[in-house]
């Protein structure tokens, strides 16, 4: 391959949709996805549990509904759409619901079906909640919290946050002493009082006037000075006494990347302001309590958090820095995420996370003092994470539920807040992915891959614990929306080779789901899409790696193979549901039709397999996640007779990163690679994703050096095709340009770059998708079948 920097977009030629798809081509499968059919999405219930609403049928996502007694989809009219409620908050009896719509607050009565608009202002009201006794509604207007009586409508402002210091007060044009005078001014004032009787009289009268005025004036709402910090997490305790809130201080003058946009309506290059890079100064947070009874404000004290001074384990690789940090003995930076009050308002639990990502604490909050006591601590030397983070709340006034990976897999726990005793409700080598508490607080409903890592089902379990009861029966992906009255399940279901459809089922074990929608087109159905085998193989560390395997019906004589590497890193693709990477699923079918064997694995770092698998890439991306690819190729050679000289790979984003690392560090395994929107240097990616896995560049340079393809570019021997959107605001185009310059300086010849001027990270134009995959297919055809 010749060295070539290419900027080319092929014009999209529309193809008349035929009833028969015929032989697969890139042009056919990479068209606007509407040729497949539009699956139902955004599935949600009416408040009275009688209807299911969903977007369907057209690329515009028009709204349809069905009822539990009539399953024929009906298009929803404009007037009904306007009247629909949004997600909101229910009262304890589940008879009233509060919600915000277009910046105003509404209350719906489920029994009567009537909706009452509680606010109608030009201000933006949001986050409505019932008060502890449910006689009032609280909501935010601007930064401040307000309370509105449901019967009578009295509106009361509960907080008065002030973003700048109060201006000096004056009286009759004269400045009133506000306590800010310096020593010289204080001395002069004292001298004047000593020398002149008239000033003494004036001062006595002023004090008397001030005392009389203070006695007559109503008590004002306390001003809470917050400087220029932003306010969030404003929460009122159920008894109405305490208001908790969080202040965020953003660092000043933080440098951000700029993404140039070359193809613009103005004809000029326009800059798109973008993100910071990993390691940039981060926003810091402090949390406070406003005791309305004592009219006092005080900070929640985090100094007593267990492990607050712990130093991350990776510093053992940096002895000097470890010694310095040990001497400093500083508290780690933490964020109080949310405050959860018990229904009776007598107890509160806060979730706290460490900025270095190594710890998460659940702490009991003493609201009267602002002090904290440990309820539960989750620690991971890599980083705390996994599914279910944020799934927590009160079972009753004594017990608090949450999810944790303490056992190695995400499971449900319930803690007795009075004595700290914690009970694990679910267990096993599977993950609880989503969790909700029933209306009567006697049952947990959750989604999990209990039966098989690649199958998601919906379960119930008593809050006291027992064997989970499976409620869904369809093998594949089951995304369940429980009706408000908890009698029905709306199921968005898919299978490996069948896109998402809507089903409805009674909320009973063994109930039969009924299919509602038929979304795929005749053209899509005319092709026999492969149901890829889900297999396992052992990697070099003895762990099972799950993978999708596509076998050709007529293998090419050259016996080529291609490895597809899914993106995101933490994502599951070797499962039985319709893939997020549906285009790549179809492309893999095309490759198999042309004689290739294709492997698509959930490598180390993928989702669905527990904490150890999730964190296996800690401090070394391109380590175990790459050797899994190499071990997979060895399995293909040994078991399926693949030619070891005819193996390629491709992938986007994280998959593009792995493709680069494979081409640079395993050149004898992979002959060719298509690297799409690839990270080339992790020190130039964003903070929130990268610092969890690699820490920060200036504290853990070793991790970044061994994880970034740009440091290994000299190892390129095979045929590399790079493809990147030029307005990519996730993995910036600068990333691939820096690698391009490195390859030029290394005098490498066997690479190409295809650039797409109007594409962000996720391509949108069919013409770009077609061009991209025509190039990748051509690469494999020309280099893997020699």
Query: Cα–Cα–Cα angle for 691, 697, 698, nearest 5°?
Result: 125
Report the pLDDT value the prediction gives residue 13, as an integer from 0 to 100.
33
pLDDT digits (tens, 9 = 90+) for 457-481: 999 999 999 999 999 999 999 999 9
- pLDDT class of 213 with cuts at 50, 70, 90: low
The pLDDT, as a whole number, for residue 11 is 32
Q: Where are the beta strands (DSSP E) in 405-542?
A: 411-416, 422-424, 432-437, 443-452, 455-462, 469-470, 477-482, 488-495, 498-506, 514-515, 533-538
pLDDT of residue 1: 43
Residue 63 has pLDDT above 80, yes or no: yes
β-strand partners of 74: 65
Q: Tell me what the mean pLDDT of segment 735-740 comes to.
A: 98
Question: Do the bridges between strand 359-366 and strand 348-354 make them parallel or antiparallel, or are there none, so unpaired?
Answer: antiparallel
In which band, very low, low, confident or very high, does the pLDDT at 220 lie, cut at 50, 70 and 90?
confident
Q: What is the DSSP string of 256-321?
A: --EEEE-S-TTSS-EEEE----TTS---EEEEEEEETTTTEEEE---TTSTTTT---GGGGG-HHH
Residue 205 CB partners (closer than 8 Å, separation 6+):
none
pLDDT tens for each residue of 700-710: 999 999 999 99
Give the model's pLDDT for residue 307.
98
Q: Is the model's pLDDT at 119 over the cut of 80? A: yes
Percentage with pLDDT > 90 across the chain: 88
Q: Using a cut of 0.85, tell me whether the model's pTM lies above it.
A: yes
Q: What CA–CA distance (Å, rounded) separates 670 from 47?
A: 55
Residue 537 clears pLDDT 70, i.e. is over it: yes
Q: What is the pLDDT of residue 173?
A: 46
CA distances from 548 to 24, 452, 610 (A): 20, 14, 19
Is 9's pLDDT higher than 60?
A: no
Segment 396-424 shows an average pLDDT of 97
Res 10 pLDDT > 50: no
Q: What is the pLDDT of residue 153?
A: 79
Mean pLDDT to the nearest integer, 558-581: 97
Could you tell me the CA-to-CA distances from 518 to 36, 47, 387, 695 in Å, in that order?
A: 12, 26, 31, 47
Q: How far is CA 43 from CA 55, 64, 492, in A?
A: 7, 10, 8
CA distance 227 to 223: 12
Question: Is residue 727 classed as helix, strand or coil in its secondary structure?
Answer: coil
Q: Residues near 450 by Cβ (< 8 Å), separated by ≥ 6?
A: 428, 430, 457, 459, 468, 470
- The pLDDT, as a whole number, for residue 5 is 38
Mean pLDDT for 18-44 is 92
DSSP class per residue in 198-229:
HHHHHHHHHHHHHHHHHHHSPPPPPPEE-TT-
Residues 6+ apart with CB under 8 A from 396: 342, 343, 441
Query: Would the pLDDT of 227 be above 80?
Result: yes
* pLDDT at 16 > cutoff 90: no
Comparing CA positions, the residue from 247, 269, 385, 381 lying closest to residue 315 is 381
Does the structure show a pLDDT above 60 at 170? no
pLDDT band at 189 (very low <50, low <70, confident <90, very high): confident
- Quick check: 690 pLDDT over 80? yes
Q: Decide: 348 and 370 in contact? Cβ < 8 Å.
A: no
């Amino acid at each position: 391959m010749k060295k070539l920097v290419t900027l080319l977009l092929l014009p999209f030629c529309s193809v008349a949709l035929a009833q028969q798809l015929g032989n697969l081509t890139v042009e056919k499968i990479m068209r606007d996805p509407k040729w497949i059919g539009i699956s139902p999405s955004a599935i949600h219930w009416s408040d009275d549990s009688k209807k299911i609403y969903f977007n369907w049928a057209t690329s515009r996502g028009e709204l349809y509904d069905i009822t539990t007694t009539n399953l024929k989809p009906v298009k929803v009219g404009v007037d009904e759409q306007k009247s629909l409620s949004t997600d909101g908050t229910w009262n304890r009896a589940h008879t009233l619901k509060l919600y915000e719509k277009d910046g105003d607050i509404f209350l719906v009565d489920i029994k009567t079906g009537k909706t009452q608009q509680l606010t109608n202002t030009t201000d933006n009201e949001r986050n409505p909640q019932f008060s502890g006794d449910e006689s009032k509604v609280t909501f935010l207007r601007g930064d401040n919290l307000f309370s509105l009586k449901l019967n009578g409508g009295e509106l009361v402002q509960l907080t008065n946050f002030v973003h700048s210091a109060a201006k000096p007060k004056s009286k009759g044009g004269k400045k009133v002493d506000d306590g800010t005078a310096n020593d010289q001014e204080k001395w002069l004032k004292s001298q004047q009082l000593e020398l002149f009787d008239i000033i003494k009289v004036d001062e006595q009268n002023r004090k008397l006037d001030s005392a009389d005025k203070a006695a007559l004036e109503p008590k004002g709402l306390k001003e809470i000075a917050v400087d220029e910090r932003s306010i969030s997490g404003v929460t009122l305790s159920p008894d109405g006494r305490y208001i908790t809130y969080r202040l965020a201080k953003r660092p000043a003058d933080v440098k951000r990347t700029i993404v140039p946009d070359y193809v613009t309506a103005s004809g000029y290059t326009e800059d798109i302001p973008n993100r910071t890079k990993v390691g940039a100064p981060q926003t810091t947070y402090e949390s406070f309590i406003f005791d309305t009874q004592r009219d006092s404000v005080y900070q929640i004290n985090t100094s007593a958090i267990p492990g607050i001074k712990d130093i991350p384990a990776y510093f053992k690789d940096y002895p000097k820095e470890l010694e310095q940090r040990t001497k400093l003995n500083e508290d780690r930076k933490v964020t109080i995420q949310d405050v959860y009050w018990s229904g009776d308002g007598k107890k509160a639990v806060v979730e706290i996370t460490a900025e270095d990502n190594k710890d998460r604490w659940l702490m009991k909050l003493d609201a009267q003092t602002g002090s904290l006591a440990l309820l539960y601590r989750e620690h991971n030397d890599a980083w705390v994470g996994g599914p279910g983070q944020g799934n927590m709340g009160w079972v009753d006034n004594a017990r608090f539920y949450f999810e944790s990976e303490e056992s190695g897999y995400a499971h449900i726990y319930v803690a007795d807040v009075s004595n700290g005793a914690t009970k694990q409700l679910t267990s096993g080598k599977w993950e609880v992915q989503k969790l909700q508490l029933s209306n009567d607080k006697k049952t947990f409903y959750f989604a999990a891959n209990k039966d098989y890592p690649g199958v998601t089902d919906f379960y119930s379990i008593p809050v006291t614990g027992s064997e989970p009861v499976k409620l869904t029966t369809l093998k594949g992906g089951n995304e369940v929306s429980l009706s408000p009255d908890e009698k029905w399940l709306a199921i968005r279901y898919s299978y490996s080779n069948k896109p998402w459809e809507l089903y409805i089922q009674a909320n009973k074990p063994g109930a039969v789901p009924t299919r509602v929608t038929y979304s795929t087109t005749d053209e899509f159905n005319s092709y026999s899409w492969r149901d890829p085998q889900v297999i396992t193989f052992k990697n070099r560390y003895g762990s099972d790696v799950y993978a999708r395997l596509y076998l050709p019906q007529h293998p090419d004589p050259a016996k080529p193979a291609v490895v597809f590497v899914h993106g995101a890193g933490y994502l599951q693709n070797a499962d039985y549901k319709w893939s997020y990477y549906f285009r790549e699923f179809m492309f893999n079918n095309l490759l198999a039709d042309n004689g290739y064997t294709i492997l698509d694995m959930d490598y180390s770092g993928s989702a669905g397999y527990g904490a150890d698998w999730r964190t296996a890439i800690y401090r070394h991306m391109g380590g175990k996640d790459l050797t899994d690819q190499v071990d997979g190729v060895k399995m293909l050679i040994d078991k399926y007779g693949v030619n070891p000289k005819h193996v390629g790979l491709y992938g986007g984003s994280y998959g593009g990163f792995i493709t680069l690392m494979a081409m640079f560090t395993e050149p004898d395994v992979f002959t060719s690679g298509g690297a799409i929107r690839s990270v080339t240097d992790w020190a130039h990616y964003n903070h929130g994703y990268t610092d969890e896995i690699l820490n920060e560049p200036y504290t853990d340079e070793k991790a970044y050096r061994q994880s970034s393809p740009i440091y290994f570019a000299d190892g390129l021997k095979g045929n590399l095709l790079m493809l990147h959107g030029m307005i990519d605001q996730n993995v910036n185009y600068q990333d691939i340009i820096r690698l391009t310059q490195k390859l030029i300086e290394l005098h490498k010849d066997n690479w190409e770059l295809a650039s797409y001027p109007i594409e962000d990270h996720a391509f949108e134009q069919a013409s770009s998708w077609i061009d991209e995959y025509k190039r990748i297919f051509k690469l494999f055809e020309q280099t893997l079948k020699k």
